[in-house]
Amino acid sequence: MTKNTAFRIFLIGTLSSAALFLWATYDTQRQVATLSHVDKLSDEVVAGKRVFERHNCNDCHTILGFGAYYAPDLTRVVRRVGEDGIRFRVKHPEQAFANSWRKMPQQNLSDQEVSDLIAFFTWVGEVNNNDWPPQDSRKRISRGEQMMVAAVGVSWTRSAQPCPRSRSGNT
């Protein structure tokens, strides 16, 4: 390969990568309002975000892909544990995590701060982020469904079709 050919490959690769990056940036910015439900922002959601930041929840938790990985991802926490589950975990972490190796500090939040956090988590859970995180995906089968598949041998799809029998005659 000549020096001139290598330079052309470099130049074409760099320019095409830059063009792709610029197009992806433009496309993302064009869709932000639609994907993030900005129209549903309320004072409670903003107050919940401030509570989340003031108590440094990102030091342990991840939300929308940002934060630490010590504690569970909170992007779809309302779907996963519900509002009462969040309220219990935040108000009484010593009871909620008594049997867990992970420990959550007592933040001593007021009832209003907890309600604001729940409003923030609800808003975040409605953001269209292409079904992330995968553990909270509606496409993923539940643990109960996984156990049923293992015990009964039904297919991995959500249909009730049994798996075909093996050719050896064993069932």
In the chain, where the domains are located: 1-36, 37-133, 141-171
- Express each pLDDT in 79-90 by its tens digit: 989 999 999 999
**Per-residue pLDDT band at 154 (split at 50, 70, 90):** low
Task: With beta carbons less than 8 A apart as the criterion, state whether 102 and 71 touch.
Answer: yes
Q: At residue 88, what is the residue type?
A: F
37-133 topology per CATH: Cytochrome Bc1 Complex; Chain D, domain 2 (1.10.760)
DSSP run (H or E) holding 167: none
Task: With beta carbons less than 8 A apart as the criterion, state whether 106 and 94 touch.
Answer: yes
Distance separating alpha carbons of residues 25 and 31, to the nearest angstrom: 10
Contacts of 121 (CB under 8 A, 6+ apart): 48, 74, 77, 78, 86
CA torsion 150-151-153-157 (nearest 10°) is -60
- Report, as an integer, the average pLDDT of 142-153: 69
Greater pLDDT, 5 or 37: 5
DSSP run (H or E) holding 51: helix 43-54
- Express each pLDDT in 31-78 by its tens digit: 887 777 888 889 999 999 999 999 999 999 999 889 998 999 999 999
Work out the number of other CB atoms within 10 angstroms of the CB of residue 51.
22
- Report, as an integer, the average pLDDT of 13-29: 95
Share of the chain above pLDDT 90, in %: 55
Q: What is the DSSP letter of 154?
A: B
| Entry pTM | 0.66
Q: Which residues pair with 162 in a beta bridge?
A: 154
Greater pLDDT, 152 or 66: 66
- Report, as an integer, the average pLDDT of 139-163: 62
